[in-house]
Amino acid sequence: MATPPEAGPAALRFVAAASWQVVRGRCVEHFPRVLEFLRSLRAAAPGLVRYRHHERLCMGLKAKLVVDLVLQGRPWAQVLNALHHHFPESGPVVRDPKATKQDLKKISEAQKTFCQQVEQLAEAPIDLALKLQELEQEYGEPFLAAMEKLFFEYLCQLEKALPTLQAQQLQDVLSWMQPGVSITSSFALSQYGVDMGWPLPARSAPDSRNMTGPREQSPPQQQRTACQDHLTKARPSLHLPQGPASRKQPETVTGHQFNLAPLGRRRVQSRWASTSRGRTAWIAP
């Protein structure tokens, strides 16, 4: 079967939907696939969001991967290998001409601080149990909510850059990729469509229980598998605007270790409301 028209933008939306389900559903084990998606987006369209925005999100997802290994009680050799893989001593490879010296300094400081924090834990201090409890709190739900907010803003910019959504074109491409699957039966697409305001048929909206359930409950295995399938099979060719990010785009405060906003302790009320909790997220650096 020949590749249908608009396959690129549609496939990109499928991967975005699957990635959104991973972050929204707190499926930390699939964060590496989201990071791969973000790297592809940044390479194809560096103007979607500011450099700091992109780095905050990527560093936060990487940090959560490492923290989960610590909290799961994995061998410290495995933890440190993961730490050095995600945060190499050479620092991040920067190919963004828009990255300022201040950006690079802040990012380097954040990475160094996190690495020192994990390496100190590996030395088994006397108060290890207390420090692990603090680590779990620091990188718990408020931190993940901050990452979700950053990713939501990223995806909103992506939607603005893509051609106007046509439901039939989306269905044609999905049928080509996964015969027999409809856009109204895909949980990931339905949820993403609701959150992005897609003009899809009313029946495509997921059950309200799926939108208001507690964060602690991970998506069912079937949803996890579908999510992984979308991330694995959809390899879109990215052709997006290369222009600079809008100057009006706000700098977002994301948490404690990865606060790359101007220094100073303050409480910031986010304008973004969590789609599953129906409340405004408070993020205190």
One-letter-per-residue 3-state SS of 164-220: CCCHHHHHHHHHHHCCCCCCCCCHHHHHHHHHHCCCCCHHHCCCHHHHHCCCCCCCC
pTM over 0.85: no
Does residue 120 form part of some domain?
Answer: yes
What beta strand segments (E) does the chain contain?
Answer: 268-273, 280-283
Does residue 2 form part of some domain?
Answer: no
Contact 252, 259 (CB under 8 A): no
Q: Which domain holds residue 114?
A: 7-283
Q: Range with the lowest mean pLDDT among 36-45, 127-136, 139-148, 262-271?
A: 262-271
Does residue 22 form part of some domain?
Answer: yes
Q: How many domains does the chain have?
A: 1
Does residue 279 form part of some domain?
Answer: yes
Does residue 43 form part of some domain?
Answer: yes
Contact 268, 283 (CB under 8 A): yes
pLDDT at 91: 67
Does residue 235 form part of some domain?
Answer: yes
pLDDT band at 2 (very low <50, low <70, confident <90, very high): low
Does residue 1 form part of some domain?
Answer: no
**Of 51 and 234, the one with more pLDDT:** 51
Does residue 255 form part of some domain?
Answer: yes
Measured torsion, CA atoms of residues 45, 47, 48, 52, in degrees rounded to the nearest 10: 120
